[in-house]
Structure 1
Amino acid sequence: MNVLGHITQRGRLRRGRLTRHNAPQPVPVYRHRKIPVYDLLGDAALTRIEDQADWILDTIGVEFRGDETALALFATAGARVDGARVRFEPGLARHLCTTAPAEFRLHSRDATNSVDLGGDNLVLMPGYGAPFVTDLDRGRRYGTLDDFRNFVKLAYMSPWLHHSGGTVVEPTDVAVNKRHLDMMLAHLTLSTKPFMGGVTSPGRAQDSTDMARLVFGAEFMDRNAVMQANINVNSPLVYDDTMSGALRVYAAANQCVCISPAIFAGAMGPLSPAAVAAQTLAEAMVGIALSQLVRPGCPAVFGSFHSSMNLKTGALTFGSPEANMTTMAMSQLGRRLGVPVRSGGGQVTASNAADGQAMQDSADAMWATLLSGGHQVWHAAGWLEGGLVMSYEKFVMDLDHCGAMLKMLQGFGVEDEDFGRDAYHEAGPGENFLSTGHTLRHYTTANFQPRIPEAGPYETWNENGAQTVDQRATARWQQMLAAYEPPDMQDNMRAALMEFVAERKAAMPDEWY
């Protein structure tokens, strides 16, 4: 008797499904790593990188252009200020970072979606900042507010993303000076996961924190972080007044600032991974130091966004071994600095389509990110074309990969139940284990199950139109959006948000550039 016939005879399998204990099981939400991190570099190498960062800050310095308040804060703290240039004695910038917490919580209005940063915690979030979107039905186009809302909904629905993101895609059908209001409204009403606010001017940062206060309350926010700001350094070694001004708004409000140098090796810094790591550390320490001068204890994240280049064409590359090694080093440097790390990796790619290159680049970058101990992973879903495009299909393809990676980071158990000794008594030599009690107890949770439909055997796949994974992903994201249900929100809270947005929009003319 064949295997399927044997199990059917025993009443355990009907039409390809186990019939016992077949009720849907809740999907686990993995927020912690349970396996050790991988350290690429030894202490001596890390010390040399840290010494190089100190050399950069002491000898070259960092410019704060147009922000007299920041310059005054640094001067008071003992830095050497010459015009816009700020220089630090070795060890000073690191010392100023010591009041930043090593671990902190981002609170959600639904406590089950609150997340912790630092320690063994993991926070995955979607892509950030793309002006374009694409899907197989409508092709590549400028992103709209509807697209932005769709990606917020998809991130909210996935157990594998812990964070709603920030500017997931640019809503280009809304004036530049008003977009932050609509994006904040979407994050606050369509999801209960943590989110990021506007940073493209200090005023927009203020609007973002004011809207969050309408939901969380001013007193609660004064004591707890509920949102983050992405503070991009204008690498090499420049903070403009837009970024430093927004940083100061969030820090004064006790909200998390993520300092993110962006160094493309050979363009914004030297070519070698060691130089990129040192410059990233130098630029990030200065931003974290500023946050602590504004408000000691303000939660901060050591971020990095780095890439190598094709030195023949100047095009950016992602998932390269050089960039991935830098990612690994940044995780170690961040742990030594004593603050949570936002990885420079994620599921990033230069590919123009959700194809094999895209997934290979993404997988390589994600492995380096997660194995080396990054705490917060941006661009974990949807990224194409070096960040210019958010892809609906790649978004859900990446979700499956996020889930698989998170499951791997849990390791596996070695308790008595994990060995399944009773199953050997049921099956015995030469018998299959498909219908044993051990299998029936664990078959719904033992293996990670991707959400994109499987292709099946060749004959079935061919009969169903020979669809590739990106084509099957189209049906998946469309099904997710069709099934979306918004989280509850008090009517008075929603009304207050809507009134705030309407009043702020009415008070300003449209600015498209």
Structure 2
Amino acid sequence: MIPTGETRMASAHYARMGHDECDRIHIATLEILERTGVDVHDENARKILAAGGASVDGVRIRIPEFMVTRALASAPRRLTLYDRAKRPAIRAWGHNTYYGGGSDCLNVLDHRTGKRREPLLADVVAATKVMDFLPEIDFVMSLFLPKDVDARIYDRYQMEVMLNHTTKPIVFVSPDFQGCVAAVEMCEAVAGGEEAFRQYPFATCYINVTAGLVANAESLQKCIYLAEKGLPQLWIPLNAGGVNSPATIAGCMASMNAGILLGVVLSQLVRPGVPIAVPGWNGGPYNLKTMVGNYVLADEQGVPTSMGKYYDLPVFGLGGSTDAKVLDHQAGMECTVSLMTALLHGANIVHDVGFMDSGIQGSLQLQVMASETIGFLRAATRGVVVDDETLALDAIHEVGPTGSFLQHPHTLRHYKEPFYSKLFDKGPYSMWEKNGRLTLEEKAAREVDRILDTHTAEALPEKVREAIASIVRREQAWIDNQ
């Protein structure tokens, strides 16, 4: 059974690895943690791990099996994110799949000119508005790294924009520990206090960890801070097979998994039962032909997600991306395939919809097209209801072999249920000509403009907006005095 966005489906999901393969990688990971160890570049994290039973040799930490077993027993299988109105919006467990954008692209593929350019804060606003509107996009990320704000604290400006222009859940990224603290403070201002945000978290931090065997200080500090507050986190160490880990899938995944379990152990030592999600991409060979960090590679598909399912932990996946530079066949194929594999493998929170050029470029057009694709995929994998109403035996008998169902009450009850794309052209050639011979790319550009012209998220109260802005001003003053 596959649920997507909590819709039950009768079709079987796809697992890249079976239990035996996952079990062998798990056992290998335990040996890596005990024998080789992981470099932990934060003194407080080393103290916490040592108090929990780990051995310390400088920055090298070795973790015995009992610590991993204990942590996996307390780490919850569920991670819930709410919308601004405190309604559950993302139930990240099992095979529920939710999609959203990515963060920090260095370029925009401008939907009006077709040209590539550097992004501004206004582009973060536009991206947030588009993601807030699109029906198949479930959460929001910043998409762009704006060039017209202080580069040292750009993430604070991104967070202010997202909080003001969406009511959907937010996944945020911060380059430093202080940025994570500031983002949480902004969320608490919106929620009405620390406890209110802890009970109904509508945002979570995507923690970038250096690699499977190297945990940087900022990631460890964020992990501890969020765990102390009882907030969910996305703990994401990533390996490049053949570069910082073995070129084989199994070896790359096992060494990456050591860093994943390090985060699980650390978070559960700080606060048992705090939610943590693990990666659903990488864990396979790097592109050694180009030495570019590609976003859609065949060999890694589903490997880390299989391990996440093995541990019964929420999975932070990747999909709706492409390494293409323009909206061509490669873009459409890679976007669709990565969305589909994330769905079939059961990744829960799937980010980077709209990413292009190995994450260097973002496209609002691609997000609009991907939303249509997600709708198609969800319909194509949805379970089929078979009961007296859907079998329609009485209607078949009434109409008979030569009658028409077009005006039958049964048709009127159900004709709106199938998926009908707003952008994909399904009409005759003559109608396509009459409507201007528009390509999907052109229709997506028009849809972006329509959304930007007409859609506005429910505004925050003025007092809350000012509270958020004051935190950003405080951060700007702080960085200016460094």
Alignment-derived partner of residue 234 in structure 1: 210
Output the CA distance in 1 between the equivalents of 2:264 and 2:349.
Answer: 16
The count of corresponding residues between Structure 1 and Structure 2 is 475
Matched, 1:477 2:448: yes
Alignment-derived partner of residue 439 in structure 1: 411
8 Å Cα contact 1:308/1:323 also seen in 2: yes
Could you tell me which amino acid in structure 1 is paired with residue 393 of structure 2?
A: R
Alignment-derived partner of residue 338 in structure 1: 312
Shift of the 252–207 alpha-carbon distance from structure 1 to 2, 3 Å rule, reads same
* Aligned-pair Cα RMSD in Å: 2.3
8 Å Cα contact 1:265/1:276 also seen in 2: yes
Offset at 1:194? 1.2
Offset at 1:98? 2.8
Selected match of 2:324 from 348, 351, 355 = 351
Instruction: Summarize deviations over 1:355-411 as a string: whole Å, max 9, x none.
Output: 2111211222222211122111112x2111111111121110111111222233431
Output the CA distance in 1 between the equivalents of 2:408 and 2:50.
Answer: 71
Alignment-derived partner of residue 10 in structure 1: none
Alignment-derived partner of residue 491 in structure 1: 462
Q: Secondary structure at the match of 1:335?
A: helix
Could you tell me which amino acid in structure 2 is paired with residue 121 of structure 1?
A: N
Could you tell me which amino acid in structure 2 is paired with residue 419 of structure 1?
A: L
Matched, 1:401 2:373: yes
Matched, 1:109 2:80: no
Aligned positions of 1:266-305 closer than 5 A: 266-305=242-281
Shift of the 85–63 alpha-carbon distance from structure 1 to 2, 3 Å rule, reads same
Could you tell me which amino acid in structure 1 is paired with residue 190 of structure 2?
A: V
8 Å Cα contact 1:229/1:247 also seen in 2: no
Matched, 1:208 2:183: yes
Selected match of 2:130 from 123, 138, 154 = 154
Output the CA distance in 2 between the equivalents of 1:143 and 1:115.
Answer: 29
Unpaired segments of 5 or more residues in structure 2?
none
Shift of the 321–502 alpha-carbon distance from structure 1 to 2, 3 Å rule, reads closer
8 Å Cα contact 1:331/1:373 also seen in 2: yes
Output the CA distance in 2 between the equivalents of 1:471 and 1:275.
Answer: 44
Could you tell me which amino acid in structure 2 is paired with residue 239 of structure 1?
A: A
Output the CA distance in 1 between the equivalents of 2:369 and 2:266.
Answer: 39
Alignment-derived partner of residue 504 in structure 1: 475
Alignment-derived partner of residue 26 in structure 1: none
Shift of the 174–271 alpha-carbon distance from structure 1 to 2, 3 Å rule, reads same
Could you tell me which amino acid in structure 2 is paired with residue 340 of structure 1?
A: P
Selected match of 1:367 from 317, 334, 340 = 340
8 Å Cα contact 1:54/1:91 also seen in 2: no
8 Å Cα contact 1:422/1:438 also seen in 2: no
Higher alpha-carbon Rg: 1
Give TM-score, length-normalised by structure 2: 0.91
8 Å Cα contact 2:212/2:256 also seen in 1: no
Instruction: Summarize deviations over 1:6-33 as a string: whole Å, max 9, x none.
Output: xxxxxxxxxxxxxxxxxxxxxxx94344
Output the CA distance in 2 between the equivalents of 1:224 and 1:314.
Answer: 42
Could you tell me which amino acid in structure 2 is paired with residue 231 of structure 1?
A: I
Q: Which moved more, 1:75-84 or 1:266-275?
A: 266-275
Could you tell me which amino acid in structure 2 is paired with residue 459 of structure 1?
A: S
Output the CA distance in 2 between the equivalents of 1:509 and 1:430.
Answer: 79
Give TM-score, length-normalised by structure 1: 0.86
8 Å Cα contact 2:228/2:270 also seen in 1: yes
Alignment-derived partner of residue 392 in structure 2: 420
Matched, 1:128 2:100: no
Alignment-derived partner of residue 31 in structure 2: 55
8 Å Cα contact 1:200/1:243 also seen in 2: no
Q: Secondary structure at the match of 1:264?
A: coil
Indicate the percent of aligned positions where both proteins have the same amino acid.
26
Output the CA distance in 1 between the equivalents of 2:103 and 2:172.
Answer: 12
